[in-house]
Chains A and B, each alone.
Chain A
Amino acid sequence: MNLDPGFIWTALRSLLQAVPTTLAITAVSSLCGLLLGTVTALLRIYRVPLLGQASSAYVTFIRGTPMLTHLLLIYFGLPLLIDGPLAGAGLPVRSAMIPMIGFAYIAFSITAGAYLSEVVRAGIQAVDRGQMEAGLAVGMTTGQALRRIVLPQAMAASVPNLSNSVIGMLHASSLAFTVSVVDINAQAQIVASTNWRYFEAYLAAAILYWGMTLALERLAALVERRISLYNRGGVSS
């Protein structure tokens, strides 16, 4: 088989139209996942009755099952719930109203939440207990100390792991093609079927993914430098 470099370029241009989809899935699931992960991490660290155990169960179940399974469970399970009990209760909802990408958002947020829960938990535990105690000593409530003292430091400590997870999500978002969401990888298959040059199309997809990953790495480095300033005594707040 011979390589057609020209088609890599053609494919690359065609793949650009799928970039927003891939970025949207990555951004939405990472952000929602971070929120979910932070909440579950706190519930677990503070051993909140019931909710803490529920969070632990959530993390172990989701980390114990593949991401594609989550997507399929949501894709087939959610319509059962919506068209069954909810529609039966007279609510004007139908599963067909959820756009396909919605299933990907929901499923991948749940996936990301479990992994990020561990990332955030590690970050929080990396902060010295004395920080919390100092906050309490000057009269802050636990919530205030968490928000003002612990979480900012915890986030700084989590940035490398966070960027790792986001990059993982960027690459894993290609699973969304299972539910007819055309991401970069899917677009590569589609453009290749016009002239059967799959290898070139996949190569173009790889270049694009790599480029996006490089940008993410740069962004993470920037954020890390900015967010860790306190550590070097650069800011006295």
Chain B
Amino acid sequence: MKKIGCLSVLAGLLAVTTACGGEEPAETDAGTQTGTGSETSTESKAGSGAASGSENDRASAPEQIIVGTGTQFPKVAFLDEDGTLTGFDVELVREIDERLDEYEFELRTFEFTNLLLSLETEKIDFAAHQFEKNEERQAKYLFNKEPYAHWKNFIIVDQNNDSIQTLDDLQGKKVLTSATSAQAQILENYNAEHDAKIDIVYNNGGANDTVSQITTGRVDATLAADFTLPLIDPNGKLKTTGEALSSADILFLFRKDDPASQKLADAIDEALVAIKEDGTLSELSTTWLGDDFTK
């Protein structure tokens, strides 16, 4: 009796496990199907023409492209709570990757100040970090043609500070900026052209202390693009002041005099036009930056 009891229990167990085993794939199939279902719905909404047509060309292995970006730019290229790299630039690069079958992008993160050197030394193939187009950079690097955002640089001061309106008001004052940034360029150009200098305080952005440096009076101001202010100063302790110092197009940065880079840039331009036309870019901008800065 005992033996039979044991056997029946075993048989019962076996039946249960095999039943489960039989059901499992079906279940997971269903799960993944619903998962991909929702994904593809967003994808197909986003990539109507560009992606679907060239599905068959996948046979030739896509070219591996290393994309350099950073982790210290909130909402643009940063690590979320789970440590996943995301943000406006990052998601845009992924969207472009989706639409370019001939390329496969791999994102790598660098300290911002080392991105340009990494590009030159072929550690990365292009850089995506809200790079602003200016003459100095154009002389040394290749930009793609289709901007994916537009910046206006402003002077940013403590909200109680009404004495500063223009760069001239900053003469002899301390202005915080990140070394190698486009804002540093504006300040350096000003100092090169004027006898009364602005006292530039450089940092590497590693401490995220812009707000405290300005509110404690260590420095008097900083320069930043309009949309970055709510990102670095969520509590509204600072304000923009005066007229826009410069407005610039935001582009990806490539190696100059390199045919492969030119080809990549052209391919990305084409994809960007499509991403703009179907509204995906505006959507990304609103999601990450709080407003549409792409027009």
Which residue of chain A has its CB nearest to the CB of B219?
A180
Contacts known (A75-B207, A95-B216, A190-B179); A199 close to B120, Cβ less than 8 A? yes
- List A residues 126-175 near B (Cβ within 8 Å): none
Q: Is A236 an interface residue (CB 8 A)?
A: no
- The answer to whether B206 touches A192 (Cβ under 8 A) is no
Q: A182-B202, A194-B188, A198-B120 are known contacts; what are 8 more A-B pairs with Cβ within 8 Å?
A: A75-B209, A94-B216, A180-B176, A190-B179, A192-B180, A193-B180, A195-B136, A198-B114
- List B residues 199-224 near A (Cβ within 8 Å): 201-204, 206-207, 209, 212-213, 216-218
- The answer to whether A196 touches B137 (Cβ under 8 A) is yes
Cβ–Cβ < 8 Å partners of B176 in chain A = 180
Cβ–Cβ < 8 Å partners of B113 in chain A = 189
Which residue of chain B has its CB nearest to the CB of A182?
B202
Report the tally of A-B residue pairs with Cβ distances under 8 A.
Answer: 69
B258 to chain A, nearest CB (A): 10
Q: Is A125 an interface residue (CB 8 A)?
A: no
In the bound complex, what is the Cα–Cα distance between A198 and B117 (angstroms)? 6
- The answer to whether B180 touches A189 (Cβ under 8 A) is yes
Contact code string B172-213 (vs A, CB < 8 Å = 1, else 0)? 000010011000110010000000000001111011010011
Q: Considering the complex of A and B, which 10 residue pairs feature the smallest CB-CB distances, nearest first?
A: A198-B117, A180-B203, A178-B206, A96-B216, A193-B180, A189-B179, A196-B140, A1-B120, A177-B204, A190-B179
Q: Is B121 an interface residue (CB 8 A)?
A: yes
Q: Is B268 an interface residue (CB 8 A)?
A: no
Chain B residues in the interface with A (C-beta under 8 A): 113-114, 116-117, 120-121, 136-137, 139-141, 176, 179-180, 184-185, 188, 201-204, 206-207, 209, 212-213, 216-218
Cβ–Cβ < 8 Å partners of A189 in chain B = 113, 179-180, 202, 204
- The answer to whether B116 touches A72 (Cβ under 8 A) is no
- The answer to whether B179 touches A186 (Cβ under 8 A) is yes
Cβ–Cβ < 8 Å partners of B116 in chain A = 196, 198
In the bound complex, what is the Cα–Cα distance between A69 and B113 (angstroms)? 20
Which residue of chain B has its CB nearest to the CB of A99?
B218
- The answer to whether A72 touches B207 (Cβ under 8 A) is yes
Chain A residues in the interface with B (C-beta under 8 A): 1, 68, 72, 75-76, 79, 94-96, 100, 177-180, 182, 186, 189-190, 192-196, 198-199, 202
Which residue of chain B has its CB nearest to the CB of A191?
B179
Cβ–Cβ < 8 Å partners of B114 in chain A = 198
B253 to chain A, nearest CB (A): 11
Partner of A179, one of B140, B207, B217: B207
- The answer to whether B203 touches A178 (Cβ under 8 A) is yes
In the bound complex, what is the Cα–Cα distance between A180 and B209 (angstroms)? 10
In the bound complex, what is the Cα–Cα distance between A204 and B141 (angstroms)? 23
- The answer to whether B218 touches A96 (Cβ under 8 A) is yes
Cβ–Cβ < 8 Å partners of B141 in chain A = 196
Cβ–Cβ < 8 Å partners of B136 in chain A = 195-196
Which residue of chain B has its CB nearest to the CB of A71?
B207
- The answer to whether B216 touches A193 (Cβ under 8 A) is no
What are 10 A-B contacts defined by CB distance under 8 Å? Answer: A94-B216, A95-B216, A177-B203, A179-B203, A182-B202, A189-B180, A195-B136, A196-B116, A196-B137, A196-B140
Cβ–Cβ < 8 Å partners of A1 in chain B = 120-121
Which residue of chain A has its CB nearest to the CB of B120?
A1
Contacts known (A186-B202, A190-B179, A194-B188); A96 close to B217, Cβ less than 8 A? yes
In the bound complex, what is the Cα–Cα distance between A75 and B203 (angstroms)? 14
In the bound complex, what is the Cα–Cα distance between A94 and B212 (angstroms)? 13
Which residue of chain A has its CB nearest to the CB of B139?
A196
Which residue of chain B has its CB nearest to the CB of A202?
B117
A182 to chain B, nearest CB (A): 6
